[in-house]
Structure 1
Amino acid sequence: MRTVFGLVLMLGLGLAGFAVYMIKGYFDQQQAIIAAERNAAADRMPTVEVVGVGRPLPYGTVITRADLKPIRYTKDFLPEGTFADLEELFPEGEDVSRIVLRPMEPNEPVLASKITTPGGDAGISTRLTAGMRAFAISVNATSGVSGFLRPGDRVDVYWTGSVSGGDGRREVTKLIETGLELVGVDQTAEQGRTEAMVARTVTVQVTPEQAAKLAQAQSTGSLALSLVGLFDEEVAQTVEVDQSSLLGIIPEAAPQAVAAPPEPEVCSVRTRRGAEVVEIAIPCTN
């Protein structure tokens, strides 16, 4: 009996070992087939290494080396505008930044159509400080400093209009805002522009309260800009000028009212004449 049990056990172990051997051989064969197909596909569709995106990059992101990684892309389907390496992406060095114009996702190749040129600007919204707003002011050749304004300059804003006072309505010019930064001139926000251009509008960076003040001022009068010097850190004081102060005219003082002379004191006595009462004036005695 024990001999039969031993034979059955040995037979079972032999069959199990044979099954493991067959399964391992099958898997090895499949792995070899997959590797062969992969190598064949690689031979048929060669790939190249390009600069890719390593994390989600939304609009307005300034691209840095940490945002990028090399990826493999099928050579035959490589889109136009890819970059082979970081030197090609940043030809002037990483200090001359490039900004995302269209969102990109991880493992996506960086395309020239989705980023700015080196040092280019992605629009005014990317240049606004947190909590600030962009406000447009209508100008002309005179009020716009003869076209010499550039994005990045600072300006003072003067308002001219009519105000009511005790002496009636009068025209005044008043300094209402100082040191506002220009973020755009007409439709350009490029700070490197050097040629003069007579603008029709300029865009300044302001707080919401300043935007409301400028909107009210622009609707009730005219605005003119004064360019602040590049190294001028002095804050302008409150300035208000009208025609009288401009020409040095001293307003005439209003004539003083003259008191009317007191009415003379009248003394009288009343007397009855029949049915009639008569009042007769007499000298007053103190």
Structure 2
Amino acid sequence: MTSNNTKKYTLLIIAIGLGVLGAFLAMLYLNARESSLRDLLKPKSQPIAVVVASKDLLKGDVLDGSTLSVRKIPSEFVDNNAIRPNQFDEIEGKVLQQNLAQGKALIRSYIGTDFPLDFSDTLAIKRRAMTIQVDEMSTFTGLLRPGNRIDLFVNSSIGGGKEKSIMPVLENVEVLTTGRDSAYDYTEKVRFLRGGVDRGINQSFTTITLNVTAKEAAILATARDQGELLALLRNRKDKSGSGFSVVSSGELLANAQKLEKQEQLRRSTEKLSDSIVVGEDGVLRDKNGVALVNQNIVIGKDGSIRTKSGIDLSSRGLSLNEKGEIVDKDGNVIDPDSLVIAADGTLMTGDGKVIGGAKVQSLAGIKQLADGSVVLADGSVIQGATLDENGHLVLADGTVIDPKDVRINADGSIVNKAGQVIAKVKIRRGDNVISFGTTVDYLTGGLSKDGVLIVQKLPVAK
């Protein structure tokens, strides 16, 4: 009996489960059918006529019958701000503010009333465009491009003299145009109104237009009238300046002499490297590895030779022979340990032989003139230096040096007691330095009535 009851309950549960499943499936079917019937009963979507681009349009194009057309689009895909055909008269003649692909609907936000089609509209407020004539060299053989930056110099005479000098005029100036080609930075405003399509840059031009202020334009015009303009191309990221105010023919000669000296030092270094080697232990050896007898010398990277006490031997015509000996121009061997500096700065050997070259001077006798220039005992001027209230020498880079117990060599190197070079300065030679504003006697040609030469008092000008 119990077994029959169990079977009945099992069948009942199965029947109930199947009934629930059947009801669930029936509900799904009815819902799907209802949705299908609803879709069938919905009204069909009506296409709406809108204004579209008849071809690919680019920023700056004028909106008219040649660039626009009418197209019907399903209503669900139409933007609320799309232009309808009955609104065409409102937008005709206006300018497209951004690119629009063919067949795309024209949206009201794409339309503008104004667009800078004129080059003057590209200039920033308070800036001016100035065009100057250039030659092929100033255009870097056609490689100058709009957007590049240049420095401008002028080659002219100063004060009406015959000697010409080069002076900076303007630095880091932006080139707006080369000929009629405008800068890439102005692409969307001027030249490339058609989406930045590069139609080629003209490499043959005789004028360039620069981005300047009104005052800079006046300075440039004055420089152009005074002499020949020189343009130098610079990296657009470079913010440095020229670092000089004028370069004269005298400085040109000095630079040539400097280059000559550098070449002499290079050859000297090359020659030394073939015969003298500095070991890892700092010992000087010949090419065979034999240590030199004299180790009291220092060979600089530039080929210069000094004693360990700081005396510059190279500038006095002394050099090293293949044996590592110090010799003069005649080949006479000089013992560097015997070199002494006389009271007047003259360099000589222990037996009294004077070594040529400029004197080694003490800084103890330096003084500052009324014009602020600092001079040595021989009248040479230490350029860019001053003296503070304690009598210390202050260099252009701010280095402060106590003049006691230091010497200055002919090349401008300042050496302490230990022979270490502690600073380097530029020296302007001059046996007789006269401060600015001093009055001197000037003898003119001709005689006075009493037969005495005429003397005029002239102030020394800067």
Please tell me the TM-score bracket, short chain as reference: 0.3 to 0.5
Bigger RCO (CA 8 Å, 6+ sep): 1
| Higher helix residue share | 1
Q: TM-score, normalised by structure 2?
A: 0.31
Q: TM-score, normalised by structure 1?
A: 0.47
